[in-house]
Amino acid sequence: MKSLNELQNIRNQYTCLCDDTVSYEKFLIPTQGSGMYVWCMGDDDPYIDLVMGYSSLNFGHNNREVVAAAKNALDKLIHIHSFNTEGKLLLSKLLIEELNTNESFGVYFDVSGSNVVSVAIRVARHYTKNRKVVSFIGGFHGATNVTSAGLTDDDILNKDQYLFNEFEKDVIRIEFPDRRIAGSSLSAIDKLTKLIREADIAAVIIEPVLGAGGFIFPEEDFLLQLRELTRANGVILISDEIQVGMGRLGYLYASKRYGIVPDIILLAKSLAGGIYPLSALICKSELYSVVPSKGSAFHTTFNNSPFGSRLAYDVLCLAKSKGWFENALVTGQYLLRELAFLDESEFISGLRGDGMALAFDIVKPASYTAMTERELPKLFVNTCLERKLIVCTSGKRGNTIKITPPINLTIPECQVIIGRLKECFVAFSDKALLV
């Protein structure tokens, strides 16, 4: 086995040094996981993971029942080309039934969130024959193709690397309504109403709760108003639930939390338990009606994966039978209540949450001069690592800390997280004041 130093040298010499593994100052090699814990090379005690693969492990690391489902799926059929499989069909039926609507929907499966974002835009533009797409400031819809990157906020993703992204000319961004700001929903609806009158809007794409944008929550009735506006004007409403779906807000569909059925819903990340990169586009059947019978673009080498779809079906059946989605509402509310002490610090503001999606901001007090606004969040992240707690920064200003543990935690496990965050909070405050 290679030593930690040897592996670090290999990293420095042979890997891409511009991916997100450079986010942390400490060089770690995770070797094993279980639930909310991760063990790393050279460390006897585990780390608590509050990032969970950017919500791709909603049921925890190496969940025994999910792993058993994966082994069962591997024993059946791993891959085949253009055929339906039992797993795909059962999963499609389950996903549509969970919408609880009389409208007709169909499901297309792919291998990444960015891919289904791109497909959704292609479908919306082809169906409506309009070009423009509205997205929201602070939104993140992927980075691996020009469509998903074009929709993503410029402050979250550096667009220089895409050079000439012609699609961006057709993207219109407006402010995301923040429930903490009075009147923000009304302002957003007014702006959208004006845009729909003046421009050829094909679709509005929205995260029900901003993910990479720092868990910004809308007012309760905003999505209902948005659904009514888009439906009345023939605009396709796309709900990107890649980060906040799959139980993070207490429901399979985050849009259900807000009482709407969009025209298109996008899922990925935890859909197949984080074991296989499966994504889904749940779309009104009438939108598929314009897809050409010859030369259809609904095809990638690994879409409709027999393994991924069977695993996802079994995982969703597990989640439903175990009450994992509902559990997120109970434990999330408990965490939010018990973490209220964080808002007492002059360095922390805006504790917020819904379900098992919680966040707070690291801020610089007006009279504080020892460190900058950019340095303080980094200090918090690295202080947490020292105490074996894994968190990461997000948000437009890079100062938001999100709390996204497994949604199937117990109250005693929540208490462990609370205790560890208290330790980190005290250590961070002491360091910030001693600089």
For residue range 61-88, list pLDDT tens digits in order.
999 999 999 999 999 999 999 899 999 9
Identity of the amino acid at 223: L
Is the pLDDT score of 434 beyond 90? no
- pLDDT of 169 higher than 90: yes
The residues that bridge with 194 in the sheet, in sequence order, are none
Single-letter residue type at 337: R
Q: Which residue is associated with the tokens 């330790």?
A: 423
Residue closest to 227 by CA, chosen among 350, 103, 316:
103
End-to-end CA distance of the chain: 40
**pTM score > 0.85 for this model?**
yes
Sorting pLDDT into bands at 50, 70 and 90, what band is 295?
A: confident
Number of CB atoms found within 10 A of residue 13's CB: 8
The confidence band for 97, taking pLDDT boundaries of 50, 70 and 90, is very high
Would you state the structure tokens that stand for residue 220, as one six-digit string?
A: 């309760």
**Domains in the chain with CATH codes:** 4-63+324-434 (3.90.1150.10), 76-322 (3.40.640.10)
Give the CA angle between residues 117, 122, 128 to the nearest 5°. 125
pLDDT category at 302 given cuts 50, 70, 90 is: very high
CB 202 within 8 A of CB 124: yes
pLDDT for position 19: 85
In whole angstroms, give the CA distance from residue 414 to residue 48.
11
C-alpha distance from residue 363 to each of 25, 137, 342, 368 (Å): 21, 21, 12, 10
Please report which helix (H) or strand (E) contains residue 93, including its range. Answer: helix 86-97
**Closest to 231 in 3D by CA, of 256, 254, 258, 260:** 260
Question: What is the residue whose two structure tokens read 């402010």?
Answer: 175
Q: 47-49 and 389-390 as β-strands: parallel, antiparallel, unpaired? A: parallel
pLDDT of residue 435 exceeding 80: no
361 membership: H or E segment, kind and range: strand 357-362
CA atoms within 13 A on the CB side of 191: 16
Give the residue from 166, 151, 122 showing the smallest Cα distance to 297: 122
Q: What is the pLDDT of residue 84?
A: 95
Residue where the block lists tokens 């279980």: 34
- The answer, yes or no, to whether residue 133 has pLDDT greater than 80, is yes
Residue 344 has pLDDT above 90, yes or no: no
Strands 236-240, 201-206: pairing is: parallel
Residue 419 has a pLDDT of 98
Q: Which residues contact 52 (CB under 8 A, 6 or more apart)?
A: 36, 58, 60, 61, 274, 404, 405, 406
The answer, yes or no, to whether residue 15 has pLDDT greater than 90, is: yes
Alpha-carbon span 285 to 305, nearest angstrom:
21
Q: In the predicted model, what is the mean pLDDT of residues 83-95?
A: 97
> Which positions ≥6 away from 187 have C-beta within 8 Å?
175, 177
Mean pLDDT of 385-411: 97
* pLDDT score of 313 more than 80: yes
Please, which residues bridge with residue 109 across strands? 280
pLDDT digits 0-9 by tens, 43-54: 999 999 999 999
pLDDT grade, residue 334 (50/70/90)? very high
Segment 398-405 mean pLDDT: 97
- Tell the burial category of 274 from Cβ atoms under 10 Å away from its Cβ (0-12, 13-18, 19+): buried
The pLDDT score that the predictor gives to residue 90 is: 98
- Which amino acid, one-letter code, is at 113? G
What pLDDT score does 400 carry?
97
Mean pLDDT of all residues belonging to the chain = 96
User: Mean pLDDT, to the nearest integer, of 192-206?
Assistant: 97
Q: Which residues contact 381 (CB under 8 A, 6 or more apart)?
A: 23, 24, 391, 392, 393, 401
At residue 311, the 3 state secondary structure works out as helix
> Do the beta carbons of residue 135 and residue 205 sit within 8 Å?
yes
